[in-house]
Structure formats: structure tokens, C-alpha cells
């Protein structure tokens, strides 16, 4: 009977947490325009949906390879984002929408858009987060009521923008880190099932192993960084005891789990490792993101309650501290205290550990401050023992009190109720001082979404008419300002226009929600007062509130309410340039050199040096000059080191190429054109104005040809004088396709040999 009552109470607590979340976050389903990273996240969903519609999904053989590896053209002159970035959540949203939600919506005469469905998915994931947390606690073996209370508090962490699991990380008013939300939802279950899979001395069940791999894969597929943190968090489970034989057994189990995860995501992870040189590190990101805060700042944050309880009483901080020490006395679950301590050490970052942390695969380019998520998730497993400790002390107190008051008959009647009643009062007070902040934060979030929607609706028709005008004739990219100029205050509702363009499927420039493309840094060299910069980036349309001083080739076209549309003439997606020199560099040392070139005379005369970030690049034999970048400002030529600002690093072309571009065409991910190369050009290349990546394949006059990268970091092919037909196509990486096929064919093999697999566990 007592156990049944506990189950009922636990269910009530968890359902209360979920219902409260559903109420608090309800405005998230009504958003018309985002002011944060959700613009980036939804645009990836929209691009995935474009692939679905254009590649015959779900039945075409072209479908799956292009879903997992396509060019996202919206920002930084295009980039193969799914090659490096999480894409499984986007595919899941698009597939479920097209196969289930959209047909049902039409059947019931509703009109649920993909954007609305996307908002519903993140709303439900955030609101339902207490459920996987509670399930993880039960799997680990924590008592029901402490587990339920801990699941309630899991939704009420608070930081000052540390990007943890606190609600502002995901809400409209906050940061919009939806990719992290995808990973965070499954992360506790991944840790819990891994713990179950390795803790038993005898062979653990195949189910524990399967679900361990499943939820770790889902975590990693949601956010690669969160997956790495999860794997690091499972490492201490090797030492549940120090008996050599048991350590070896657990080591085998963990190894099998890791290998299974790597196999499941090998189509993604292996190509990343082999092509990491085309995934740059941005200088626009502050250094604290890469290096984290260091031990002193992290300890200060913890002691001041800033990691769990920013600007409120340190309730969760105290609970985590109690749980940490209480768990150390547990025979098996003590390992979660060690996990918390380990992740805290990683959170210190490179600021403390220096280059040592780079020995861990993936850490060199990772934003180490994101270990805050690992700290938060690990701390969740410290909350149930904290509540156990509180209940134990309350019961002990009243047990002593009852012993002293046994002679008083009336007291003896009520003493069984005193302990649970006191515990209820204590928990209620803790909930109030914790959840009150979340409620107030969401009250403003709800109000501001409504105000932003009203402002959005006011000019929405004019904005959509403007987009239709561009869509009918668009041949290039759109410029609508940038965060550092008039674009910051040029908005529809609360969303900057340059943010909204990608949501509607337009290619834009000067807004960088991602900074990994080879063109990310060079993109920012654009000057709206310089006519040739529009041609270099193929900017054909400009949206602004007025003309702040655009270049002379920018002409006013039409006004749509508060939005003015301008046009600029360019050569299109292609141009003819001369490339008589070659630059060898790594993935960041070329950035200053490109900036210098961008502002120099050689670029004015269409001299675009060839460049390579490969270890063993292919160098054409007719190069007049070859240099190698040693660092950001130093180059080496003929064994002599020189400075790019003191020693002129370029050469001038014999003449400015006068090529002509004819009959451009864009079909899916293929760009083609007729090109006339002048007879006087000895080292002419046809340049394609998309960020260079190995996935691009080029044919010239129907024949596949060697592609090169040219300044600023575009795709180019050598072309002889005369008329040519060029075709540039973004195709999925061959290795990635092979690995996907291997994984699919391996599924029935694993099912067939499942008994053998169970024996390994």
C-alpha cells in the first residue's frame, strides 16, 4: 500500500512539472519570427525540406544521401553544413511532417505549416524534459519521490546566459539553442542505460546495451559536442569498484558501446575527421567560448550560485552540494559524484589545462564553455540523493522528538504525520524560491511574443510582397544590412530582416549564424559603398529602410511599405579571373592575406590567387609565384620568411580578363553557364561564387575537370581561351554514401547474430 501511494505521489509530481511547463511555454507555439539562433535552426529544417521536395523523398535513391549531405546556400556564400553539423533532428522533423503531420493536417482541414510544426516540436521537447529525467533516475535506482522531485527541479535551473539546460537557453526571449535541446532530451537516458549496462558483474541484458547505444546515438546526433561530453561522462563508470577482473569486464562493455555508437554515426564522424580542414575556426567567436573560464572563475560561479541559481536563493546549488557528498557514501551510485567532478574539471577548459585538453578528440575546435551542459546534466543525478538526505534528517529529527514525548498521548497520535508534513513544507518552500523565477521569466516571454507578433503582422503583407518580387527574378544573394550597421535596427516585429531572409529560403550575405564556412571571415570584408564588392559576392538585391550610401551601381527599384528594394548588376554566379600565383595555408592562416587582397589593386584587376589548405596540394605548373603561409601574417617564399604587410605578397596579372558569362541556369544543386574566355588570358580560370568544399564537382564542356580554390575561397577551374559550358554540382561525399550503405546492410546482420552479441556482454 505504501509503495502504491509513493508511486501515485511521484506521478503527480512529475505530471505537475510537465503541466507547469506546458502552461509556461505555451506562447512558443505562436511565434511568427525568431530573434535568436532558432532562425538558424529552422532554416536548416527548411533547407532539409527543400531537399525532400526536390530529390524524390522518401523513395528515390537520391533522397537519403542528399538529406545527410547537401549545400546550405543561405549564409557565408554556401556551406555543406550537414557534412559537419547535426542533421538527424532536421530529417526527423521533415520526414514526420511530410509523411504524417501534413496529410493529417490536410485531412482535418487544418493548415499547420512546417514552421508551426517545428515550434511545436521544440515546445514539447522542452515541456516534457522532466519525463526522461525521471525515467533516468528510476533506471539508476533512486527512490520514486526523490526522483520525481529532482525531475521537477530539472526544469528550473538558472544561469546568466551560460548556455546550460536552463530554460532561457531555448526560449524565444533567450538563445534558441534547439540543437542542444535535441541532445539534452536524451542525454540523461543515455547515461542511465550505460550505467545499468556496465554495473552488473555478470552479463547485462541486451536491452540495456541496446538502449544505452540508442540514447547515446540520439544525444550525439542532436549535438556532436553533447555526444562527446556524454562519452566522457560515462568513462568513470569503469571504476564502480577497483577489482581488476570487474574493471576489464566493464571496459569491454564500454568499448562495445563506444564502438557501436561510432559505427552508427560513422557516415558522419569519419568524413568530418578526414575533411576538418574545411571547417574553420572563427575569429568572430570570443576566446572564452573556445577556452572556457578557468578554474577560478568556475569555482567563483559555483560558490556564488551562478551555475544553478543566478539572481535567486542558491537552492539547487545547495541541493547539488548535499547530493554530491551524500552519494559518495553509496556503494554503487557514488560514481555520479565522480562524473560531476570530472565534468567540472573539463568545464575549467583550456584556460586551466592548456594544450592537454586537445589530446581528447574533437576538443581543439570545440567551444569548451559548452561543458556547462555536462555539468548541469551530471548535477541532475545528485538531486535525488539530496532529497533523500533531507527526508532522512527530517525523519530522524521527529524520531528523536517522538522518543522524548512518548508520555504525551495527544502528541503520540500526530507524530506519524509530522515528518511528511514538515518535508512537504520544506519542499514547497524550495519549489517557490526556485520556480518563481521561471514563472516570472516566462510571463515576460509570453507577453513579448505577443507584442512581437502584433508588430510582425503590421508589416507582414508588405514584406511578403517584397519577397515575391525578389523570388520571381532572383539570380543572386540578398543584402539587408548586418549586425554592426543599420541592419541591426531594421526589423519585422522583433526579428532583423537579415535573419528572416533565410527562413523564407533566400540566400543572403553579411549575417553569420554559423562561422564555419571557408568564406565566413572573408564574407565580412564586404563594403556596401564599393561596387566591385557586390559583384564579388553576387549581391543582386538590397533591402533597406533607405539608401545609407550604397555604391553607384545600386539602383532603387520599388518601395514596399517601410522596405525599399534596390538592385545591383553583377556577372552572376560565375566570372572569369586570372590566377598566376599559388598560396598554401592551413584553415585560418590565410584570412589576413585575403583581407589584404580584398583591399588591394590586384583584386581590382581580377587577379585571384589559387589557394589550398591540403597537406599535399595539387599545384598547376604555370604558377609565376608560390608562397606558403606560416602564420596569420607571415609567409615563406624560396626559404625566406616575410611579412604580408611589409612585403607585397601578390603579383599583378598581365591584363584584366574580359570574359563574358551567358545563359546562367540553376537546377537543384547544379549551377551552369556559358562562358567566353578571352584569347589573351594565359592563366584564366572560371570562378564559381560559392564557398569551396570537396563536395563540389565540376564539368567543363561535358568533361569532369580538376577543381581549385581561388581567393577569396571560391571554386574555380582552369579554362583555355574560347567558349565553354561549365556545370558545378554539389554532390554527397562518396565515402559518406558508402558508409550509409554499409550501416543499412549491417542491420539485418546484427539482428541475425544478436545471440552472439549478447554473449559478448
Does 758 have pLDDT greater than 90? no
Whether residue 509 is contained in a domain is answered as yes
> Cis before residue 40, ω within 30 degrees of 0?
no
Gap between the Cα atoms of 370 and 293, Å rounded? 11
Q: Specify the DSSP class assigned to residue 29.
A: G
Banded pLDDT at 474 (limits 50, 70, 90) = low
> Are 717 and 654 found together in one domain?
yes
> How many separate domains does the chain show?
2
- Chain mean pLDDT for the chain: 93
pLDDT tens sequence across 224-245: 999 999 999 999 999 998 889 9
Average pLDDT over residues 583-602: 95
pLDDT at 658: 86
Residues 653 and 702 in one domain: yes
Neighbours of 676 (CB within 10 A): 16
Q: Report the pLDDT value the prediction gives residue 472, as an integer from 0 to 100.
A: 83
Over residues 174-220, the pLDDT tens digits come to 999 999 999 999 999 999 999 999 987 655 578 899 999 999 999 99
- Domain range for 564 is 458-568
Q: Which of 48-57, 234-243, 370-379, 692-701 has the lowest mean pLDDT?
A: 234-243
Higher pLDDT, 23 or 752: 23
What is the structure's pLDDT at 749? 75
- β-pairing, 625-629 with 708-710? unpaired
Tens of pLDDT, residue by residue over 453-467, are 999 999 999 999 999
pLDDT of 405 > 70? The answer is: no
Query: Given this model, what pLDDT does residue 415 score?
Result: 62
Distances (CA, A) of 361 to 225, 269, 515: 11, 11, 21
494 is a domain residue: yes
Mean pLDDT of 257-279: 96
Q: How many CA atoms lie within 13 A of 603 on its CB side?
A: 18
CA quadruple 91, 94, 99, 100: dihedral, nearest 10: 110
Looking at the structure, tell me whether residues 473 and 487 fall in a common domain: yes
Residues 578 and 562 in one domain: no
In this structure, what C-alpha cell is assigned to residue 188?
540523461
- Strand, coil or helix: 674: strand
Write down the pLDDT at residue 82. 97
Any domain includes 697: yes
| Within a domain: 364 | no
User: Cα-Cα-Cα-Cα dihedral of 710, 715, 720, 722, to 10°?
Assistant: -120
d(CA 690, CA 712): 10
Lookup result for grid cell 511574443: 449
Residue 480 corresponds to which cell in the numbers above?
A: 539587408
Neighbours of 393 (CB within 10 A): 13
For residues 535 and 597, state if they share a domain.
Answer: no
61-100, pLDDT tens digit by residue?
999 999 999 999 999 999 999 999 999 999 999 999 999 9
- The Cα–Cα gap between 628 and 650 comes to 12
User: Model's pTM, two decimal places?
Assistant: 0.94
What does the block give as the cell for 628? Answer: 606558403
Q: pLDDT class for 396, splitting at 50, 70, 90?
A: confident
DSSP SS3 for 98: helix
* Residue 140 burial (10 A CB sphere; 0-12, 13-18, 19+): buried
Provide mean pLDDT across the span 20-26. Answer: 98
Task: Provide the pLDDT for residue 409.
Answer: 56
Task: For residue 584, tell me if it sits in a domain.
Answer: yes
611 and 517 in a single domain? The answer is: no
Q: Quick one: angle between helices 294-303 and 335-348, nearest 10? A: 130
pLDDT tens digits for 99-127? 999 999 989 988 899 999 999 999 999 99
pLDDT above 90 for 11: yes
Question: Are residues 558 and 588 located together in one domain of the fold?
Answer: no
- Greater model confidence, 310 or 4: 310
User: Based on the domain organization, do 612 and 629 belong to the same domain?
Assistant: yes
Indicate whether 657 and 721 sit together in one domain.
yes
Statement to judge: residues 517 and 581 lie in one domain: no
Q: Are residues 628 and 710 in the same domain?
A: yes
Cα Rg of the chain (Å, integer): 29
C-alpha cell of residue 48:
532539409
pLDDT reading at 159 higher than 80: yes
Mean local confidence (pLDDT), 268-294: 92
Residue 532 lies in a domain: yes
Residue at which a domain ends, from 552, 568, 584: 568
Joined grid coordinates for residue 482: 548586418
Question: CA 67 to CA 82: how far, in whole Å?
Answer: 8
- The closest alpha carbon to 452, from 9, 11, 745, 34, belongs to 34
Nearest CA among 69, 123, 63, 121 for reference residue 92: 121
For residues 362 and 352, give the distance between their C-alpha atoms in angstroms, rounded to a whole number.
18
Q: Is 378 inside a domain boundary?
A: no
Note whether 492 and 599 are same-domain residues: no
Mean pLDDT of 279-286: 84
Last residue of a domain, one of 537, 568, 599: 568
Q: Is pLDDT above 70 for 407?
A: no
Write out pLDDT tens, residues 609-637: 999 999 999 999 989 999 999 999 999 99
Per-residue pLDDT, 414: 58
Q: Compute the distance between CA of residue 170 and CA of residue 181 in angstroms, rounded to an integer.
A: 7
Last residue of a domain, one of 527, 549, 568: 568
Instruction: Assess if residue 106 is contained within a domain.
Output: no
Do you find a cis peptide bond into 58, omega within 30 degrees of 0? yes
Is 227 within 8 Å of 220 (Cβ atoms)? Answer: yes
Amino acid at each position: 500500500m505504501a509503495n502504491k501511494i509513493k508511486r501515485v505521489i511521484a506521478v503527480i509530481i512529475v505530471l505537475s512539472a510537465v503541466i507547469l511547463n506546458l502552461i509556461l511555454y505555451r506562447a512558443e507555439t505562436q511565434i511568427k519570427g525568431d530573434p535568436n539562433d532558432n532562425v538558424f535552426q529552422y532554416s536548416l529544417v527548411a533547407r532539409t525540406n527543400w531537399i525532400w521536395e526536390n530529390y524524390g523523398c522518401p523513395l528515390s535513391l537520391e533522397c537519403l544521401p542528399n538529406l545527410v549531405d547537401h549545400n546550405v546556400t543561405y549564409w557565408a556564400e554556401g556551406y555543406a553544413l550537414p557534412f559537419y553539423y547535426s542533421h538527424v533532428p532536421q530529417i526527423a522533423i521533415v520526414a514526420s511532417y511530410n509523411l504524417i503531420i501534413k496529410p493529417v493536417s490536410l485531412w482535418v482541414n487544418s493548415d499547420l505549416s512546417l514552421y508551426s510544426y517545428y515550434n511545436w516540436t521544440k515546445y514539447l521537447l522542452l515541456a516534457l524534459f522532466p519525463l526522461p529525467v525521471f525515467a533516468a533516475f528510476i533506471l539508476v535506482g533512486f527512490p520514486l519521490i526523490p526522483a520525481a522531485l529532482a525531475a521537477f527541479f530539472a526544469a528550473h535551473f538558472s544561469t546568466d546566459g551560460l548556455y546550460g539546460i536552463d530554460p532561457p537557453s531555448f526560449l524565444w526571449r533567450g538563445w534558441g539553442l534547439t540543437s542542444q535541446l535535441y541532445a539534452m532530451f536524451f542525454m540523461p537516458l543515455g547515461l542511465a542505460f550505460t550505467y545499468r549496462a556496465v554495473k552488473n558483474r555478470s552479463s547485462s541484458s541486451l536491452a540495456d546495451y541496446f538502449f544505452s547505444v540508442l540514447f547515446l546515438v540520439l544525444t550525439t546526433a542532436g549535438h556532436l559536442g553533447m555526444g562527446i561530453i556524454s562519452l566522457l561522462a560515462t568513462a568513470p563508470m569503469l571504476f564502480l569498484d577497483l577489482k581488476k577482473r570487474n574493471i576489464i569486464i566493464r571496459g569491454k562493455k564500454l568499448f562495445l558501446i563506444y564502438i557501436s555508437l561510432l559505427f552508427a554515426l560513422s557516415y558522419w564522424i569519419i568524413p568530418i575527421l578526414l575533411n576538418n580542414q574545411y571547417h574553420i575556426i572563427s575569429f568572430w567567436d570570443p576566446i572564452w567560448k573556445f577556452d572556457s573560464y578557468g578554474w577560478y572563475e568556475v569555482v567563483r560561479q559555483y560558490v556564488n550560485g551562478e551555475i544553478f541559481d543566478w539572481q535567486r536563493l542558491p537552492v539547487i546549488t545547495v541541493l547539488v552540494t548535499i547530493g554530491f557528498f551524500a552519494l559518495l557514501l553509496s556503494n554503487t551510485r557514488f560514481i555520479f559524484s565522480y562524473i560531476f567532478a570530472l565534468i567540472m574539471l573539463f568545464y575549467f577548459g583550456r584556460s586551466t589545462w592548456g594544450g592537454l585538453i586537445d589530446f581528447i578528440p574533437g576538443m581543439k575546435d570545440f567551444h569548451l564553455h559548452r561543458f556547462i551542459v555536462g555539468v548541469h546534466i551530471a548535477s541532475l543525478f545528485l538531486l535525488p540523493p539530496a532529497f533523500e538526505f533531507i527526508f532522512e534528517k527530517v525523519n530522524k529529527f521527529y524520531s528523536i522528538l517522538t522518543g522524548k514525548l512518548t508520555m504525551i498521548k495527544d502528541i503520540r497520535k500526530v507524530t506519524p504525520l509530522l515528518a511528511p508534513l514538515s518535508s512537504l513544507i520544506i519542499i514547497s518552500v524550495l519549489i517557490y524560491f526556485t520556480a518563481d523565477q521561471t514563472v516570472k521569466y516566462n510571463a515576460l516571454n509570453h507577453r513579448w511574443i505577443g507584442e512581437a507578433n502584433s508588430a510582425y503582422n503590421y508589416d507582414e503583407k508588405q514584406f511578403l510582397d517584397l519577397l515575391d518580387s525578389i523570388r520571381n527574378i532572383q539570380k543572386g544573394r540578398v543584402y539587408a544590412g548586418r549586425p554592426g550597421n543599420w541592419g541591426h535596427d531594421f526589423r519585422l516585429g522583433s526579428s532583423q530582416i537579415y535573419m528572416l531572409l533565410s527562413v523564407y529560403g533566400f540566400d543572403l550575405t553579411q549575417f553569420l549564424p554559423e562561422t564555419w564556412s571557408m568564406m565566413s571571415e572573408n564574407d565580412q570584408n564586404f563594403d556596401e559603398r564599393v561596387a566591385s564588392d557586390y559583384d564579388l559576392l553576387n549581391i543582386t538585391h538590397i533591402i533597406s529602410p533607405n539608401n545609407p550610401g550604397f555604391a553607384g551601381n545600386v539602383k532603387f527599384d520599388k518601395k514596399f511599405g517601410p522596405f525599399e528594394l534596390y538592385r545591383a548588376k553583377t556577372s552572376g554566379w560565375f566570372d572569369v579571373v586570372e590566377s598566376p600565383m599559388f598560396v598554401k595555408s592551413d584553415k585560418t592562416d590565410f584570412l589576413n592575406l585575403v583581407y589584404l587582397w580584398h583591399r588591394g589593386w590586384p583584386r581590382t584587376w581580377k587577379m585571384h590567387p589559387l589557394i589550398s589548405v591540403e597537406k599535399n596540394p595539387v599545384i598547376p605548373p604555370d604558377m609565376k609565384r608560390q608562397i606558403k603561409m606560416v602564420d596569420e601574417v607571415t609567409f615563406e617564399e624560396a626559404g625566406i620568411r616575410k611579412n604580408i604587410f611589409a612585403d607585397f605578397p601578390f603579383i599583378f596579372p598581365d591584363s584584366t580578363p574580359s570574359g563574358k558569362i551567358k545563359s546562367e541556369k540553376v537546377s537543384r544543386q547544379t549551377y551552369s553557364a556559358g562562358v567566353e574566355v578571352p584569347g589573351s588570358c594565359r592563366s584564366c580560370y572560371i570562378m564559381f561564387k560559392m564557398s569551396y568544399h570537396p563536395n563540389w564537382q565540376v564539368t567543363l564542356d561535358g568533361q569532369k575537370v580538376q577543381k581549385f580554390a581561388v581567393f577569396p575561397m571560391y571554386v574555380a577551374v582552369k579554362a583555355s581561351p574560347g567558349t565553354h559550358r561549365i556545370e558545378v554540382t554539389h554532390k554527397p561525399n562518396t565515402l559518406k554514401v558508402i558508409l550509409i550503405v554499409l550501416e543499412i546492410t549491417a542491420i539485418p546482420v546484427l539482428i541475425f547474430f544478436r545471440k552472439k552479441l549478447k554473449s559478448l556482454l
